Structure 1
Amino acid sequence: MSLRDAWDRFTASQAELEADDEQLEARRRGTQPVGRCHARSRATVSGVIRAVTFAPAAAGPALVAELYDGSGSLDLVWLGRLEIPGIEPGRRLVAEGMITSADFGRTHATMFNPEYRLLAPDSAEATP
């Protein structure tokens, strides 16, 4: 680490440090940065769930998890679900699916009914 890198890390906010750590983990796993995903493209992303909400809709319930990877965030939406074991704030996962644009009343990128793999709490290994 150079002196400049050390200084930048020393003067960075906690949020900046956490964002850097999340981006490093995503690169290590070989997943795409959320901030570089494009609508109408398939993506494999990883990160930490920051929030989980239940969004009742006219067509049925939906479980929404905000996934953050340091470069940005996107909503993972499971239609027709009230809960999914393991999908909770603070949990890390890898998700794969089609990125949609900000539509259906969503404010940012969304992945509907993604395939996902929960990661063990203190490692990058998948849970059984």
Structure 2
Amino acid sequence: MGNTDGSAFRRMLRKLTSDVDELDAENLSGDAERSGAQRAAECACGQEVTVLGRLRSVEYGPQDAAATLEAELFDGTEGVTLIWLGRRRIPGIEPGRTMRVRGRIAVREGRKVLYNPYYEICPAT
């Protein structure tokens, strides 16, 4: 037999035996790194950051409370909570969307948060 590329075989075997969520997280993390965005897991409180990831959830504030829109963005390493104050809905902000967001990281109840982040909805791939 000829020379076989063992690394290609290992990659294929890993894809066949790994958890789908684990592979998705790796793909997201790789996309974020290639785009020049920071990894959410490495962002620190007070730091100005750009994060690329996929929205896992979107929650609309109740009608009788102050208007807020919260979403969880996951970049493959960690989630970041996005909070828009004074907004009940933003067209295009929905679960499954890939977004690039920019703002200053805060920590609320142990979670990383971006308040009123600048955002860009990325095209579906």
Q: TM-score range by the shorter chain?
A: 0.7 to 0.9
Return the letter of the residue paired with 1:111. Answer: L
Q: Which residue of 2 aligns with 1:125?
A: none
Please state if 1:109 is matched with 2:115: no
Q: Which residue of 1 aligns with 2:46?
A: 40
Are residues 61 and 121 of structure 1, via their aligned partners in 2, closer, same or farther at CA, if it must alter by over 3 Å?
A: same
Q: Which residue of 2 aligns with 1:71?
A: 77
Q: Which residue of 2 aligns with 1:126?
A: none
Please state if 1:31 is matched with 2:37: yes
Return the letter of the residue paired with 2:95. Answer: P
Q: Give deviations 1:86-105, integer Å, cap 9, x for gaps.
A: 1000111100000001x2xx
| Larger Rg over CA atoms | 2
Give the whole-Å Cα distance in 1 for the aligned partners of 2:114 and 2:63: 17
Give SS of 2:91's match.
coil
What residue ranges of structure 2 are gaps of 5+ in the alignment? 1-5
Q: Give matches, 1:59-98, under 5 Å.
A: 60-98=66-104
The alignment-based identity, stated in percent, is: 35
* TM-score, length of structure 1 as denominator length: 0.84
Return the letter of the residue paired with 1:61. Answer: A
* TM-score, length of structure 2 as denominator length: 0.86
What do you get for the CA RMSD once the two structures are aligned? 2.0
The alignment of Structure 1 onto Structure 2 pairs a total of residues equal to 119
